[in-house]
């Protein structure tokens, strides 16, 4: 198998043309991925945005968010399985936080499965702190969602 991130990897804002690639990456990463139609519908919402790392092989990582004037909520962050140890999760998270700062946002929120230790480690090492719990939030498993927040310094 070829290296999914060989060559240049570009960070860019995604649009509805990338919905199929987002769905395919989600299908490989999440137990209940958004369908391509759900991805397309999300782009129609003004508060939705997605950012990706695109390489020669296509979309290698992306983050989707909802945003208000002051706050960004991270919905999903996905990295192709074969590139997870290459720091792409940390890179795309850092780049999306830079975008949020430039947009004048003061806080970033996210929810993560209590059993997702890799994601929790990534977020905690990036300055996120646990601020709450949503019991039985994930409908597929009844698993709790841990709520994390990060204040953005200017």
- Count the residues in the chain: 154
What's the rounded mean pLDDT across residues 117-122?
90
Residue 5 pLDDT exceeds 70: no
Catalytic residues: 111, 123
Residue 15 pLDDT exceeds 70: yes
Return the pLDDT at 2: 45
Return the pLDDT at 24: 94
DSSP 7-60: S--EEEE--GGGHHHHHHHHHHH-SSPPPHHHHHHHHTSTTEEEEEEEETTEEE
Residue 66 pLDDT exceeds 60: yes
Out of 99-108, 115-124, 134-143, least confident range: 134-143
Return the pLDDT at 6: 54
Domain 10-109 = CATH 3.40.190.10: no
Return the pLDDT at 43: 96
Residue 146: closest CA among 118, 115, 122: 115
In the sheet that 71-79 helps form, which strands lie side by side, from edge to edge? Answer: 10-13, 48-55, 58-67, 71-79, 107-113, 145-151, 129-134
What's the rounded mean pLDDT across residues 17-24?
95
Return the pLDDT at 7: 58
Return the pLDDT at 95: 92
Note the pTM of the prediction, 2 decimals.
0.85
């Amino acid at each position: 198998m070829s290296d999914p991130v060989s060559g240049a990897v570009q960070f860019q804002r995604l649009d509805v043309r990338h919905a199929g690639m987002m769905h395919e990456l989600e299908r490989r990463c999440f137990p209940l991925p958004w369908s391509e139609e759900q991805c397309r519908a999300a782009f129609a919402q003004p508060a939705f945005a997605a950012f990706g790392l695109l390489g020669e092989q296509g979309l290698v990582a992306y983050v989707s968010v909802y945003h208000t004037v002051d706050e960004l909520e991270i919905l999903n962050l996905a990295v192709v399985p074969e590139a997870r140890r290459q720091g792409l999760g940390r890179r795309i998270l850092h780049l999306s936080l830079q975008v949020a700062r430039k947009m004048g946002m003061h806080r970033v929120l996210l929810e993560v499965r209590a059993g997702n230790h890799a994601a929790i480690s990534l977020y905690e090492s990036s300055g996120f702190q646990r601020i709450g719990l949503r019991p039985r939030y994930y409908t597929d498993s009844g698993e709790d969602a841990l709520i994390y927040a990060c204040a953005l310094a200017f």
